[in-house]
Amino acid sequence: MNGIFGTLSHYFTFPFVRYALIVGVLVALCASLLGVVLVLKRYSHIGDGLAHVAFGAMGVATALRLTNQTVLVLPLTMASAVVLLWNGQHTKIKGDAAIAMMSVSAMAIGYLLINLSPASSNISGDVCTTLFGSTSILTLTPTKVWLSVGLSLLVVAVFVLFYNRIFAITFDESFAAATGLNTRFYNMLVAMIVATVVVLAMDLVGSLLTSALIIFPALSIMRVLRSFKAVVVASVVLSVFCAALGITLSILLGTPVGATIVVVYIASFILFSLGGLALGRRRA
């Protein structure tokens, strides 16, 4: 045990490890906030769909030989989020098929473009990195760290300031609209935040696993806690803990960062489900 602590304290002297933990924890935090809203609005699949769109956007950015891909990926992802959430609660039936079509098309187009453009010499390595996240979280430049910190703080600030309105459109959108809330605006706001978090999270866990960051903490906590505020706060705490643990385990054991984090989330979900059963929570 001492050996592990010694190793860890040695690892923490490296700046890239500290950066990885800061950004990883912040991104997981933002994703979990969103996850509560998305899961309760029955939009769990949106995180996945948008991550696929972002992959496609990266393919386009590669074909256009852009050095800073975020310049293209973020607006495209935001636009897709807006389209998908435009109709709010009325999107449901059509939304399912729309998301499926959009995400699979984006993947195919993205992969095609990446293969056609001669910019890279290791295409499968690139694709693998983008899909599953790799060590990109461990090779962050200070600029990227500041950008991620800034965006994350912005997401948290927006969520806190608009907390009551976000609750209203999550619990009962028609009541909110009937009593005068501009539900379209707030749905769009949520869409923008989701897109931002998805693009940030792709660096951490990759396209395919982004949706895990979003939905797992909320689903785990909802097995046990039953008020909205408690669920939000506890999801944040859980996501921070799991992300930190996942990153630490992956650098100790040499496993891929993204998949390790998700496995920690899965373990926490199982734990909380058992806890919920033990506490006798009614699950409808």
Partner 1 sequence: MPQLICDRLTLGYEGRIVSTGVSFEVDAGDYVCILGENGSGKSTLIKAILNLKVPMAGKVILGEGLSRAGIGYLPQQTAAQRDFPASVWEIVISGSLNRIGRRPFFSHAQRKQAQENMRRLQVDSLARRCFAELSGGQQHRVLLARALGATDRMLVLDEPASGLDPQITDEMYSLIKDLNRSGLSIIMVSHDTQAALRDASHILHLGNTSLFWGTARDYERSDIGRAYLSRKGMEA
Partner 2 sequence: MRRHRVLSLAGLLFLAAVLASCSVREAPTAASLTPVAIQMDLSRLSDTMAYARMFEIVHDPGEYLGKTARIQGTYVPVPDPAREGLYYHFLLVADITGCCEIGIEFFLDGRRYPEDYPPEYARIELEGVFDMATVSGNRHICLKAEKIRVIWKAEPVPPPVP
* Shortest CB 243 distance to partner 2, Å: 15
Structure tokens at 115: 């293969």
**Which of 173, 155, 157 shows the shortest CA–CA distance to 165?**
173
Question: Quick one: DSSP state of residue 180?
Answer: T
Q: For partner 2, which stretch binds (CB under 8 A), given 43-51, 100-108, 246-254, 262-270?
A: 246-254
- Residue 154 within binding range of partner 1, rule CB under 8 A: no
- Residue 163 within binding range of partner 1, rule CB under 8 A: yes
* Shortest CB 284 distance to partner 1, Å: 5
Q: For partner 1, which stretch binds (CB under 8 A), given 18-26, 61-69, 140-148, 160-168?
A: 160-168
Residue 132-171 contact track with partner 2, rule CB under 8 A, x = bound: x-xxx-xx--------------------------------
- Residue 282 within binding range of partner 1, rule CB under 8 A: yes
* Shortest CB 177 distance to partner 1, Å: 6
- Residue 116 within binding range of partner 2, rule CB under 8 A: no
* Shortest CB 239 distance to partner 2, Å: 21
* Alpha-carbon gap, residue 225 to 230, rounded angstroms: 7
* Shortest CB 179 distance to partner 1, Å: 4
Cβ atoms of 36 and 163 closer than 8 Å? no
Q: How many residues can be counted in the chain?
A: 284
Pick 119 or 271: Cβ nearer partner 2: 119
CA torsion, points 263, 59, 140, 156, in degrees to nearest 10? -70
Q: Cα-flanking dihedrals φ and ψ of residue 15, to 5°? A: -60, -35
* Shortest CB 101 distance to partner 2, Å: 27
Per CB under 8 A, which of residues 228..247 are in contact with partner 1?
228-231
**Which of partner 2, partner 1, none lies near 44, with the C-beta cut-off 5 to 8 A by kind?**
none
Residue 170-209 contact track with partner 2, rule CB under 8 A, x = bound: ---------------------------------x------
- Residue 103 within binding range of partner 2, rule CB under 8 A: no
Pick 134 or 152: Cβ nearer partner 2: 134
- Residue 176 within binding range of partner 1, rule CB under 8 A: yes
* Alpha-carbon gap, residue 62 to 210, rounded angstroms: 21
Cβ atoms of 205 and 255 closer than 8 Å? no
Q: Which residues bind partner 1 (CB under 8 A)?
A: 40, 42, 160-165, 167-168, 171-172, 174-181, 222, 225-231, 282-284
Q: Which residues bind partner 2 (CB under 8 A)?
A: 11, 14-17, 62, 67, 69, 119-122, 125-126, 128-130, 132, 134-136, 138-139, 203, 250-257
